[in-house]
Amino acid sequence: MVVKVAIDNNIFGYLPEKSERGDYACLFFKFACINPHIKVIVPLGVSIELAKAPKLVRKEAQKYKNCVVWSSNKKILNKAKKINIPKPLLDKGIKKDDLYIAIESSLLGCQYLITYNRKHLINHRNLIKKEFKGINLSLPELLMPNEFLKLFYIPK
């Protein structure tokens, strides 16, 4: 079985940093790139945002270009952007663009969306999941890289 994992643009953004988040972003990519049971997908919306990122971030992202699938599916992106965002999510201040990444990841059939976006996604994952059910969407599990890596940790 292959697990489909979408990544948010902020994962690329932390790659150049010498920090805990940067370290976990690198570990995530290194682990995913050697694991044949993980298929990392970059949604088209993320690719579009990445094109506007600082040069250093784009350079770091290029290191992993061969082990991720870069979605170019404009139909799915357009379909995601046509979905009406439930009002309770907007009332919480969750940004539409962040929700569109989650919707696009769902439409791409991803089981996980890896993100560092606590303010708009991670902290509201239960509400988002509930509201997505109401519009017949299955929300990918929203995890930070360290949470995803813990899923595969096998203690000795």
Q: Which residues are CB-contacts of 34 (< 8 A; sequence separation ≥ 6)?
A: none
Give the pLDDT score at 152. Answer: 81
38-72: b (≥16 Cβ within 10 Å) or e: bbbbbbbbbbebbeebeeebeebbeebeeebeebe
Give the pLDDT score at 120. Answer: 82
Per-residue confidence in pLDDT tens, the chain, 156 aa? 899 999 999 999 999 889 999 999 999 999 999 999 999 999 999 999 999 999 999 999 999 989 999 999 999 999 999 999 999 999 999 999 999 999 999 999 999 999 998 888 999 999 999 999 999 999 999 999 999 999 987 666
**SS3 call for 102:** helix
Q: Which residues pair with 5 in a beta bridge?
A: 40, 112
Give the pLDDT score at 156. Answer: 64
The ranges assigned to domains in the chain are: 3-151
- Which element (helix H / strand E) includes 32? helix 20-34
Give the pLDDT score at 119. Answer: 81
pTM above 0.95, yes or no: no
DSSP 35-79: -TTEEEEE-HHHHHHHTTS-HHHHHHHHTTTTSEEE---HHHHHH
Give the pLDDT score at 118. Answer: 83
Q: How far apart are CA 54 and CA 52, in angstroms?
A: 7
Give the pLDDT score at 101. Answer: 95
Give the pLDDT score at 92. Answer: 92
| CATH superfamily, region 3-151 | 5'-nuclease (3.40.50.1010)
Please choose, from the candidates 104, 120, 115, 100, the residue with its C-alpha nearest in 3D space to the C-alpha of residue 146: 115
